[in-house]
Amino acid sequence: MHAKGDLLEGMIRHRGQLSEPQEDCVASSTWPTGSVRDRVAFALEEVRPALRADGGDVELVDIDGCEVRVHLKGACKGCPMAGSTLADFVTERIKLYAPEIERIIAE
């Protein structure tokens, strides 16, 4: 992750809005399993509190093969940091839980 992504994630962790990924993925009951859609939805639910804290939100539009389309809403839409939020924060979480996803596009 890029330095600004590290800063953003550090700030969110400090605010207590993002939990650490589980160390032991297999033994954890909170690590998402299931379809790609289920795991992407889990990732979005995990980032949603931080986005909402700043007046924004994210919505899953579609998954087509290795591509996910999302809609940034509220304060996220048109925000100068939206690209960074998508690239460094939302994308990181989606790829953590659904590594087969190659591209995330904001509509």
Q: How far apart are alpha carbons 59 and 91 in whole angstroms?
A: 13
**What is the count of structural domains for the chain?**
1
Q: What is the pLDDT of residues 41-79, one digit of tens each?
A: 999 999 999 999 989 999 999 999 999 999 999 988 888
Q: Could you tell me the two tokens for 6?
A: 């590290």
Q: How far apart are alpha carbons 80 and 45 in whole angstroms?
A: 23
Q: Which residue has the higher pLDDT, 100 or 86?
A: 100
Q: Report the percent of the chain where pLDDT is more than 70.
A: 73
pLDDT of 34 > 70? The answer is yes
Q: How far apart are alpha carbons 88 and 63 in whole angstroms?
A: 19
pLDDT the model gives residue 88: 83
- The kind and range of the H/E element at 3 are helix 3-14
Q: Specify if 22 maps to a domain.
A: no
Domain that holds residue 64: 1-7+57-107
pLDDT the model gives residue 32: 85
pLDDT the model gives residue 81: 86
Q: Specify if 30 maps to a domain.
A: no
Q: Specify if 106 maps to a domain.
A: yes
Q: Could you tell me the two tokens for 55?
A: 């007046």
pLDDT the model gives residue 84: 86
Count other Cβ atoms within 10 Å, centred on residue 56.
19
Q: Specify if 12 maps to a domain.
A: no
Q: Specify if 29 maps to a domain.
A: no
CATH code for the domain of 78: 3.30.300.130
| Selection from 50, 54, 40, 55 nearest residue 92 by Cα | 40
Q: Specify if 71 maps to a domain.
A: yes
Q: Specify if 90 maps to a domain.
A: yes
